[in-house]
Chains A and B, each alone.
Chain A
Amino acid sequence: MLGFAVRRLLTLVPLLLIVSLVFFLMLRLGRGDPALDYLRLSQLPPTDAAVALARQQLGLDQPLAAQYLNWLSGAVRLDLGRSWSTGRPVMEEVLHFLPASLQLAGAALLLVMLVGLPLGLLAALYRDRWPDHLTRAIAFLGVSLPNFWLGFLLVLLFSVQLGWLPAMGRDGPASIIMPAVATATMSGCVTLRLMRSSVLGVLGERHLVFARARGLPRRTILGRHVVLNAMIPPLTALGLHVGELLGGAMVVEMVFAWPGLGRYALLAITNRDFPVLQGFVLVMTLVFVLCNLVVDLAYAWVDPRIRFGTRAA
């Protein structure tokens, strides 16, 4: 198991290298002269001398390869450079905003699992009866809702009309409810439908007939044979949903003034603050990739065929 974990971890290294290289080139070969952006953000007049000095200070006069290696050697030492607009280390700033974003995405993930999986099971067990029809309709609506707009709807109902929940900020456990619901809805609905079809697949298998024949109680069959097996596909897909949740959380943050990475990244985008953009995309990718690694490991733990590289068809 440990060997599998190490192998999977090692395959991430070249992937992350390619990611960082591709996105480094995108920024450098993109629009305009970064030195001018730097001067604008530092509120210095863009005279010829100032531009030349900025180029030298930022290392922009060096060949691209050298610039990339410089950035990379910093990144492996957890130094992502300094923000052009604030002058503070990017790592420090990202780590300051990251916890709130992770908290929101994490709460949403929990909702996806705690609501999506049981409702999916329910829909499958009551196939073609009203719980199935109802969840189908809800899921169809849910995957079409813009998350930020759902946020406004929730505020209108629960803050403005009913006054039950705070409309914005991150203050106490009640404040995370609406942002988490708005972030989780789409992935939750997809998970619900996936769980439904997975349960239906398992229900059709022959070992269940045998379990019934052995006289096992319905409750045992459902719990041990159906639910555990059926949860594998939706749980695997959860790894991908993490990406959706991380991105979605950043938009929803703007509705609820949730103090996460959303606002920070938005500022970096409009400012064209390159070190921040690079650091931001790297950290988010790392979080996403690590979450998928955890899912993979959990999966391999449940299903030994994966661990030994003999994937079943």
Chain B
Amino acid sequence: MKVRLALLLVAVLLGAAVFAPWLAPFDPAETSLASRLLPPSALHWLGTDHLGRDVFSRLLWGARASMGAVAAILALVLALGSLVGATAGLLGGVVDAVLMRVADAFMTVPTLVLALFFIGALGTGLTNVVIAITLSHWAWYARLVRGLTLSLGARDYVAAARVAGATRLDVARRHVLPAVGGQLAVLASLDLGHWMLHVAGLSFLGLGLAAPAAEWGIMINDARPFFRVAPMLVLLPGAAILLTVLAFNLLGDALRDRLDPALAGHAH
């Protein structure tokens, strides 16, 4: 029941993201001074903003930016975390020590402060926001993968595979990664909402997509001067963020209950 609801919500949001160009009734960037700050109507379902842009269309395109960013973070964090964690776990020795000290360094700084720092180093823009959030979260995944790799490496079937002549890479690919996958899925699904909030927060600070673009965080920032006259312009994108994070968290909870009851206390 919980899984179905979560999947349904995520599917709707993904659908909005993928099909935004066809679903959106208006061009999200098309301004029209004649139709500024209109209330909802049959033409503009959710009204228009201070530049006469259609809010509904912008929300749809915003889903595209946000879901795209979160998907990219997911892929990058999993790739970087698994690569570093598996390397450290399989090679051991100096490599392990160095990689884990670097991971420690990344885990010592509060994640949002770290993300801000990286945006400072790399420059602003949605791509750099994605990279910054990835860099501030990979270390937890590297630690998890390393720990699992070590505990799996001590298992008899892995030793048997090595004796049978499998290379380290074979072992990693055939035996370790599949076993690690489930745990990673649980941890990542619990983090999706967290990443979404980071993306939204950094965009709200004006560090993501530049102003004319349609993204939920920057839409809220854009609408600030008109907050008292047209609060819906702030409320709607925020509600979209809330709905997305709720859907992710619901999905994470459901996956956790199903795959890993032991992780039930995990909290960020």
Residues of A near any B CB (own CB < 8 A): 15-16, 18-19, 22-23, 26-27, 30-32, 140-141, 143-149, 152-153, 155-156, 160, 190, 193-194, 197, 237, 240, 242-244, 246-248, 250-251, 254, 265-266, 268-270, 272-273, 277, 280-281, 284-285, 288-289
How many residues of B are counted as interface, with CB atoms below 8 angstroms from the partner's CB atoms?
A: 45
Is B234 a contact partner of A272 (Cβ separation < 8 A)? no
Set of chain A residues within 8 Å of B268, measured between Cβ atoms: 190, 240, 244
**Among A27, A254, A277, contact of B204 (Cβ-Cβ < 8 Å):** A254
Question: Which listed residue, B123, B207, B242, touches A149 by the CB 8 Å rule?
Answer: B242
Report B's interface with A, CB cutoff 8 A.
101-102, 104-106, 108-114, 116-124, 193, 197, 200-201, 204-207, 220, 227-228, 231, 234-235, 238, 241-242, 245-246, 249, 264-265, 267-268
In this complex, which of A22, A32, A146 has the most chain B Cβ atoms within 10 angstroms of its Cβ?
Answer: A146
Q: Are A22 and B105 in contact (CB under 8 A)?
A: yes
Cα separation A190 to B267 with both chains bound (whole Å): 7
6 contacts between A and B (CB under 8 A): A152-B234, A193-B267, A244-B268, A247-B110, A247-B113, A277-B121
Residues of chain B lying within 8 A (CB to CB) of residue A284: 109-110, 113
Q: Interface centre among B102, B108, B264, by most A CB within 10 Å?
A: B108
Cβ contacts under 8 Å, B207 to chain A: 266, 269-270
- Whole-angstrom CA separation of A147 from B117 in the bound complex: 20
CB contacts (< 8 Å) of B114 on chain A: these are 281
User: Count of A-B contacts with CB under 8 A?
Assistant: 147
Closest residue to B248 on the A side, CB-wise?
Answer: A144
Known A-B contacts A18-B104, A246-B110, A272-B120; A144 and B245 likewise in contact (beta carbons under 8 Å):
yes
| A265-B242 in contact given A193-B267, A254-B205 (Cβ < 8 Å) | no
| Contacting pair B267 A194 (CB below 8 A) | yes
- The residue of chain B having its C-beta at the shortest distance from the C-beta of A190 within the complex is B267
Contact yes or no, B242 A18, CB < 8 A: no
Find out whether the CB atom of B113 lies under 8 angstroms from the CB atom of A148. Answer: no
Contact present for B112 and A19 (CB under 8 Å) = no
Tell me the smallest distance from the CB of A14 to a CB of chain B, in Å.
8
- Bound state CA distance, A248 and B116, in angstroms? 12
- The answer to whether A27 touches B121 (Cβ under 8 A) is yes
Q: Given known contacts A190-B268, A194-B267, A246-B113, is B105 in contact with A266 (CB within 8 Å)?
A: no
Q: Is the CB of A269 within 8 A of B120?
A: yes
Instruction: Name the one of B104, B119, B121 contacting A15, with C-beta atoms under 8 angstroms.
Output: B104
Name the CB-closest residue of B to A12. Answer: B108
Contact B201 A147 (CB under 8 A): yes
- State how many angstroms separate the Cβ of A113 from the closest Cβ of chain B: 16
Q: Which residue on chain A has the smallest CB distance to residue B237?
A: A149
* Chain B min CB distance to A35 (Å): 16
A149 contacts B120, C-beta separation under 8 Å = no
- The residue of chain B having its C-beta at the shortest distance from the C-beta of A265 within the complex is B116
Question: Which residues of chain A come closer than 8 Å to B238, judged between CB atoms?
Answer: 146, 149, 152-153
Question: Which listed residue (B102, B201, B206, B245) contacts A22, Cβ 8 A?
Answer: B102
Q: What A residues does B113 contact at CB under 8 A?
A: 243, 246-247, 250, 280-281, 284-285, 288
